[in-house]
Amino acid sequence: MRTARPLLPWVVWGIAALAYAVAVINRSSLSALGPAAQDHFGIDATLLSMFAMIQLIVYAALQIPVGVLLDRFGATSMILGGGLLMVAGQAVMATAPEVSLAILARVLVGAGDACTFISVMRMLPEWFALRQLATVSQLTGLIGQAGQLVSVAPLAALVGAIGWTGGFLGLAACGLLVVLLSALVLRDRPGDGTALERVLGRKGRLSREARSLATPPPTGVAEVSPPSTEMIPVVREPRVRVLGFWSRAQRLLALPGVRLAYWLHFTSPFAVNVFLLLWGTPFLTGGVGLSLPTAGGLLSLTVLSSMTAGLLLGPLSSRFVERRVWIAFGIVVAIMAVWIAVLLWPGTPPLWLLVMLLVVTPIGGPASMISFEVARSHTPRSFAGFGTGLVNTGGFTASLVVILLIGLVLDLQGAGSPESYSMGAFKVAFAVQIPFWLFGLTMILIESRRTKGWMQEHGRSLR
């Protein structure tokens, strides 16, 4: 008789993925509200760009500290804490009378966002079998991209309909609802209680009897009790927390597979992050000359492309584990090739080439998820949160630097304001991406060779 597979892992994952989608909505809540923010606060474009800069700096800077806290306190606590920080941030943004408080709001949003994604990724191996992780990870990214889609148009429409304060308070209320759902449903692993159960000091039957999809179903064979261990001395492993921050970082970075995962994440997503977080709309309107509604439609196309790619890359990376690095490598090469074609095209690129750009570039987002699969294969279990945070700094560090460089190059050309934007200036500015791609691809090749040698030397196989 076939044993029914447990449903709880999928419920836990669904709420965790929803929390990540809300984090993405909060992260990109200003992506389509730039003009509204300028009108509301009376600021220029340079100060507006500081919102995105500060948020990215906070996000990237907190990845490793959050990873340390994640290993100490668990994924559920970090998701709840991150959600509350974002709720507070959006409430401050809704009611801030001046720019300094608005910047504080983006700091809170960036800090809460930093807690969410790596906590969700840390939770997945506790509930799913190894063969399912790649697909579930990509589905998580896909749901996050659905959050990006919400922030492109519906959020802007909401703010336009009920005003700045009402729109952002509504976003805070949605975040608070998800925090409450998370407190009722999320469990770090089978057998653990929810946050509410831990507060009440009473674990429910559902938590006590929870099973992971990685746990083989009962076979009907009577289990044999383990031998008595009263006389066997217990040798405890050294506690991880006695290791200093730098000692842990050095231990992880000594593993070539972890370094490989870092460079995969460094190289894959920065182009789409740069485009969606700040420079996409100025490029399409001020450079190409499209209207704002047309530019918004094309930005929605990038999200749909990313979601579709996530559906395909999950099964592919799970089926072809030995080739997953080269799948990501090929995607980065394709992104670089399309961008070079746009930059070298004389004059304004044709619509078909722009559509190709906006279909290919977003695939870097799902491709970056492969880096977490690589990291999981090479990171010791007790360092899982720290390792995920370390890898996740790669793409956001690259994104931050490229965003800053593009703005600097535009300013150096005298094209740093909407009135002076031009296609020629944007082509020169976006060319700063090319050295980052070339450097990242080179490091992937180097670390891939080192990882292969390390695995052969230690007799390891991918998992």
Whether 316 and 172 map to the same domain: the answer is no
Give the other-Cβ count within 10 Å of 44's Cβ: 10
| pLDDT reported for residue 5 | 63
Residue 392: both structure tokens together: 């996740």
CATH number of the domain enclosing 137: 1.20.1250.20
Whether 167 and 291 map to the same domain: the answer is no
Whether 318 and 434 map to the same domain: the answer is yes
Whether 291 and 181 map to the same domain: the answer is no
- One pLDDT digit (tens) per residue for the chain, 463 residues: 444 568 899 999 999 999 999 998 998 887 767 667 777 887 765 677 777 778 888 988 888 888 888 888 999 999 999 999 999 999 999 998 888 899 999 999 999 999 998 899 889 888 998 778 878 887 888 888 778 777 766 777 788 889 889 989 999 999 999 999 999 999 998 988 899 999 988 888 888 888 888 655 444 433 333 333 333 333 343 444 444 667 777 778 788 888 999 999 999 999 998 888 778 888 888 889 888 778 877 887 887 888 888 888 878 877 777 788 999 999 999 999 999 999 999 999 999 999 999 999 999 988 998 888 888 887 777 777 777 888 888 988 898 889 888 888 888 888 877 778 889 999 999 999 999 999 999 999 999 999 888 888 776 665 5
Assess if residue 234 is contained within a domain: no
Q: Is 379 left (phi over 0), alpha (psi -120 to 50) or beta?
A: beta
Quote the number of domains for the chain.
Answer: 2
Q: Which domain holds residue 112?
A: 1-211
- Cite the DSSP H helix spans in 188-323: 195-200, 205-208, 245-253, 256-267, 270-274, 280-282, 292-319
**Are the beta carbons of 305 and 324 closer than 8 angstroms?**
no
Residue 9: both structure tokens together: 């892992």
Whether 185 and 293 map to the same domain: the answer is no
From the list 56, 189, 47, 59, the residue with the least C-alpha distance to 111 is 59
Assess if residue 145 is contained within a domain: yes
| pLDDT reported for residue 44 | 65
